[in-house]
Amino acid sequence: MRIERRERVPAALLLAGGVGACLLLLVLGSLLIHSAGAPVAASWLALLKGAFGSRLAISEVLTRSTPLILTGLACAVAFRAQLWNIGAEGQLYAGALMVAALGSGALSLPAWLLLPTLLLAGAAAGGAYLLGPALLKRFLNVDDVVTTLLLNFVMALLVSLLIQGPMHDPLSMGWPQTAPLIDDGMLPRLIVQSRLHAGLLIALACALLVALVEARSSFGLQRRAVGLNAKAARFAGISTTRIAIWTALWSGGLAGLAGAVEVMGLRGYVTGDLSPGFGYTGVIIAMLARLHPGAVPLAAFVVAAVFVGADAMGRAFNVPSYIADVMVALSLFVMLGTSFLLGYRVKK
Amino acid sequence: MSEALSILLTTALWAAVLRIATPLIFAMLGELICERAGIVNLGIEGIMTVGALTAWYCVYAGHGLWTAWLIAALVGALCGLFHGVFSITMAQSQHVTGLGVTLLATGLASFVYRIAVPGKATPPTITAFAPLDLPWLGHPLLAATAPTYLALALVALVAYVLWYTPLGLAIRLVGEHPQGAQAQGINVVAVRYGCLAVGSALMALGGAFLTTAAFNSFVINMVQGRGWMALALVVFGAWRPGLALLGALLYAGFDAYQLRLQTLFPGIPYQIFLMAPYLLAIAAMVPMARKAIGPQALMVPFVKGER
């Protein structure tokens, strides 16, 4: 038995693969729900209702998908150039801290100037945090997976240090959190009496921008060339150092923006639990979107719906909400499996 | 200052060093075996979590400690085989499949734990391994448990197998030059699957040590980056068991020492002490990475007949 690559995939097969993948996920999810001792059909219904059943539910899914779009883009952008940035979580907090430092009264600017300044500062902080690992990789060949991962733990400790020490809000009683942003530093709400904020528009604009840059600009082309074959790219006269630096700023910047937007749109201050792993989920979202920036918002939306819906299901039937993490990770493997089966055929 | 130095002479410190190093030694050995065969296993953090939960649950359900370890190793090996289906058979990016395994395994462990222990009560405890007290093995002052000595023995065993047996030669050849190994009649796919299974079993044991020897309960997210630290140790140890063991002991020594320094210097925020090992690990990787002595076929999928 051996496998060989298909020349082209027929449309009917593609459709069958997609349907099959969804059915498989449905079966696996049902097994999980069943093992938690909950009624399967009613639980799925609760998940759907929790994610899409009302205006509030949908706005909550959109709110949750906002940082995921940005961290998903951050990972997609890095992976396309073979920079294995698994540190979006740390870069997100770097952006959030920068926004909290500048936006809680340190800068007094009119709102139309303050908002872009804060967003840019957050992005810059995230980009700077990825610069170290990127340069270590480029010049000293240090494994980027390990450095970006370890820096997530360093950042978590830095956040804990700052929100308990120098950046602690004296008015927060004992709670470890930073001083809140001034009103001019907060992003406007998109729908009144919901948590949905203008950060969603920023995230979507970023997705559009990244998609355009990747597809149309020479920068995107060069990055892809470096990702496909760094040696050949260097031979063709592309400065891999320049690409490494800009890729780090580009990817880390998007992750930093995720943190900035979470603080400016939602919380108003930084706490240690600002992100429930948005950075790590971003890795999966980038893969589900198959590294296409244009597909990232859709992937982020679906993943956010699973998380929000699973919360509702958990409240209704006592299914542990960790089922969302399991389902999202399973969807990655089901996607990898189907695309393999579609791309290859088995020969006897 | 003399106070800070005198800590180094206490047996409590050295007991702590061994306790902190043991899970890292298991996990580091597991990762080293996988990488020697050409597979980066980023599932390490998740597989450790699954091992921690499995071992804890087996003891909680009334099985013996060593039975729990055996089952944890088997579950770990299954995780490795699952990883292999995607990284070896389907030749997908090892970064993606490994991280996927970590996310799936940690999520699944948390899910299962919540079902096994409903409610938010304090985590149930089990009777953990007691310090070994044998005159010929295990100095009572070091208060080390049997798994710690097992970990040290495994380092020697893995080093011996890798360098002095035909099997070890086959594994290293598969990691360096799979096509060459194939030409020598070595079944590359089988070697890689085998290394992933054995390596992942060891990772799971690293997690099992946490719940059945270091602490006596399971807590969600209890692995806390130890897997990633083990990954750094493999690079630091230049893919050699002995050097990596030295790295694990150095790291554990620093970790145990900083814990005691914290109480000596209450003026310095404790987070600074906790940050230091991570930054040191990154710094320590620099001189090793420059030499680029890792297996040449690391992360390169093997497809029969392709070069």
Q: Which residues of A124-156 are buried (b: 16+ CB within 10 A; e: fewer)?
A: bbbbbbbebbbebbbeebbbbbbbbbbbbbbbb
A172 falls in which pLDDT band (50, 70, 90)? confident
Q: Which of B113-128 are b and which e, b meaning 16 or more Cβ less than 10 Å from the residue's Cβ? A: bbbebeeeeebeebeb
What confidence score (pLDDT) does residue B134 get? 66
Q: Is A166 on the interface with B (CB under 8 A)?
A: no
Q: Which of A37, A147, A324 sits opposite B282 (nearest CB)?
A: A147
pLDDT range class, residue B141, cuts 50, 70, 90: low
Average pLDDT, chain B: 89
Is it the case that residue B3 has pLDDT exceeding 70? no
Residue A348 has pLDDT above 60, yes or no: no
Joined together, the tokens standing for residue B80 give: 């490795």
The answer to whether the Cβ–Cβ distance between A143 and B285 falls below 8 Å is yes
Amino acid at B189: V
To which H or E segment does residue A4 belong?
strand A2-5
Mean pLDDT across B224-232? 93
Instruction: Judge whether B106 is closer than 8 Å to chain A, CB to CB.
Output: yes
Reported confidence tier of residue B247, pLDDT bands at 50, 70, 90: very high
Nearest to A98 by CA among A157, A158, A51: A158
Question: Which residue among A86, A142, A287 places its CB closest to the CB of B285?
Answer: A142
CA distance A282 to A261: 15
- Placement of tokens 């997908």 in the chain: B92
CA distance to partner chain B, nearest, from residue A199 (Å):
27
Q: Answer yes or no: is pLDDT of B5 > 90.
A: no
For residue B286, give the nearest of A2, A142, A336 by CB distance: A142
Q: Which amino acid is at A59?
A: S
Q: Report the SS3 class of residue A346.
A: strand
Residue A129 has pLDDT above 90, yes or no: yes
> What percentage of residues in chain B have a pLDDT greater than 70?
91
Over residues B76-88, the pLDDT tens digits come to 999 999 999 999 9
Average of per-residue pLDDT across B20-38: 96
A1 pLDDT higher than 70: no
What pLDDT was estimated at residue A30? 96
- Which positions in chain A touch B269 (Cβ < 8 Å)? 161, 164-165
Which of A141, A157, A287 shows the shortest C-beta gap to B275? A157
Q: How far apart are CA A296 and CA A292, in angstroms?
A: 7
* % of chain A surpassing 90 pLDDT: 70
pLDDT digits (tens, 9 = 90+) for A26-37: 999 999 999 999
Percentage of chain B modeled with pLDDT above 90: 59
A194 pLDDT more than 90: no
Split at pLDDT 50, 70, 90, the class of B8 is low
Which residues of A are less than 8 Å from B292 in CB distance? 141
Of residues B118 and A72, more confidence is placed in: A72
pTM for the model stands at 0.92
Report residue A346's pLDDT band, with 50, 70 and 90 as the boundaries. Answer: low
Question: Is pLDDT above 60 for A43?
Answer: yes
B219 touches chain A (CB under 8 A): no
pLDDT bucket at A59, cuts 50 / 70 / 90:
very high
Contacts of B223 (CB under 8 A, 6+ apart): B45, B48, B49, B52, B106, B207, B210
Residue B58 has pLDDT above 80, yes or no: yes
Burial of A250 (0-12, 13-18, 19+ CB in 10 A): buried
